[in-house]
Every structure is written in structure tokens, then in C-alpha cells.
Copies of this chain bind each other. A is one copy, B any other.
Amino acid sequence: MNETISLLMNHRSIRKYKSEQVTEEQLNTIIKAGQMASSSSSVQAYSVIAVSDPEQKRALSILAGNQAYIEQCSVFLVWCADLYRLQKVSESQLGDQPTCVDSTENLIVATADAALAAQNAAVAAESMGLGIVYIGGVRNQIAEFSEQLNLPELVYPVFGMCVGYPDQDPGIRPRLPLESVLHHGAYDAQRTVEEVKNYDNTYTEYMRARSGDKPVASWSQFMAKRLAEPVRLHMKDFLQGKGFMKR
């Protein structure tokens, strides 16, 4: 196993950080590494907002579900799908000619572009000894959150990412069996579900150890609870209001 794969296999989300700060040089290196990820036809349809001001981190933390590590981390990155830049650049070329910026296809392109860049950045940060955790909570109150960051039309925050020096050493959370995720030649609907049975035991053991032997739900129970809850049902209206996926 080479050094890079060893790094990838050791990923843990970090939710407690030291007070030591990430330097501007480190931040620039992390984002440049993010930029080197592939992008659909070079559109580079994403932006990232770096927030290091303590007051601003606190305000964003409250909007994202009161997660203390957003306030505590050195720099909070907000990864955005960004079709605004493309639209403005196109307008300068095309004038009033209509574009397809509002297609569902372009929402997918921009969301994927943001995620690919973010994951490269995460790997770069971890390779420097930093820790990260993704924050889906930026979508909890997405309108207010977007307003705080002056996000214009055609830009939305896909997720946040805390970055800083780890002040904890959590275990590695077990993943689904390879056989559930990897299919050969065609999707195997039966196996992908059956393999979850084995995973439920592994996952429960891990979570029980982590919670100090308290009773915990299995992965299946946890997933069912999550899928039944009406979470962030505002997303469709919000995205369409921002000019995304109108068709």
C-alpha cells in the first residue's frame, strides 16, 4: 500500500480541533489541489468561500445546526455549486441569447464539480496533518446561510468543510462491504441489499464501542429513521428560486 492510499484508508472525520491556525499558504495549497480535480468540459462550475473570522464562523455555525466544531476549526470552507460565473461569462459573449444554465443537467454538473474539487482539497489537507469534516447542515437554513455569504443567483452551498489541526483520534468508521457497493457488469439488486445484513453487525459493534456500550441502532434502523424524516424539503423551491433546475 503506497503512502497516498494509506492516507485515504485512514480518513476519519475530525470534530475537535486545536487552536493552532491553518496558514494562508496552506489554505491556498489546499484549494489549488482542489482545483486540479477533473471538471466537466473544464467548466469549473464551483466556488469556495473561506471563513476564518470567529464571529462569522459562530453565526454560520448557528445556522448550520449549532455544530461547535464549525466555530472551533481554523477555517470553515463552504463549497458551492456555481453557474453564476459561467452565466456572466456567457452573457459577455452572447448578449441576450438565452442559455441552458437552468437545466437539471447543469445542476448535476455543478454539484459534481464542487464535490470533486472538495474531495481533492480534503485529501490535500489530510496529507498535511490537518483534519476535516463535511457539514451538510449548511443546507438546513440554506436561504439565510446563502444570504450571510452574499451568494448570488445560480450559486448554492453544497456542503461546508471544517479544516484544522485534530485534537482527537477517533476510530475509523466501517464502510459497507465492498460487495454491496461494487457491481460487475450490471447492477446486482439482490446482493447490494443482502450484504447490508453483515454490515449491520459490524456497524453496531463500532457504534456501541464509540458510545461507551450504550444501546445503538443498527445501520438499517438508522437509515430507515433518516429516510422517513422530512429533511430539507425546501431544497427544490430554494434551488429553483436561485435559477437552478427550472427544466
Interface residues of A, Cβ cutoff 8 Å to B: 1-5, 7-11, 13, 27-29, 31-33, 35-38, 40-44, 46-51, 53, 56, 80, 82, 84-90, 92-94, 97-101, 103-106, 108-109, 111-112, 114-116, 118-120, 122-124, 127-128, 133-134, 136, 139, 148-152, 155, 158-159, 172-173, 175-176, 178, 180-187, 189, 192-193, 196, 203, 219-224, 226-233, 235-236, 239, 245, 247
- A-B contacts, 13 of them at CB < 8 A, read A11-B36, A11-B38, A35-B181, A42-B219, A43-B226, A49-B187, A50-B183, A80-B187, A88-B193, A100-B228, A108-B235, A116-B118, A149-B185
- How many copies of this kind of chain does the complex include? 2
- Name the contact of A38 in the complex, choosing from B13, B31, B84, B229 (C-beta under 8 A): B13
CB <8 Å contact, A100 and B149: no
- Complex Cα spacing A48 to B150, Å: 37
Chain B residues whose CB sits within 8 angstroms of the CB of A27 once the complex forms: 182
- Tell whether A93 pairs with B220 under 8 Å between CB atoms, given A41-B136, A230-B100, A236-B245: yes
- Tell whether A123 pairs with B90 under 8 Å between CB atoms, given A50-B183, A100-B230, A247-B233: no
Chain B residues whose CB sits within 8 angstroms of the CB of A93 once the complex forms: 220-221, 223-224
Give A35's nearest chain B residue, CB to CB.
B175
Chain B residues whose CB sits within 8 angstroms of the CB of A41 once the complex forms: 136, 222, 226
Which of A29, A53, A227 has its CB near the most chain B CB atoms (within 10 A)?
Answer: A227
Chain B residues whose CB sits within 8 angstroms of the CB of A103 once the complex forms: 231-233, 235-236
Q: A72 to chain B: closest CB distance in Å?
A: 18
CB <8 Å contact, B134 and A44: no
CB <8 Å contact, A40 and B136: yes
- Tell whether A187 pairs with B149 under 8 Å between CB atoms, given A178-B35, A228-B94, A233-B105: yes
Q: A247 to chain B: closest CB distance in Å?
A: 6
Chain B residues whose CB sits within 8 angstroms of the CB of A35 once the complex forms: 175-176, 178, 181
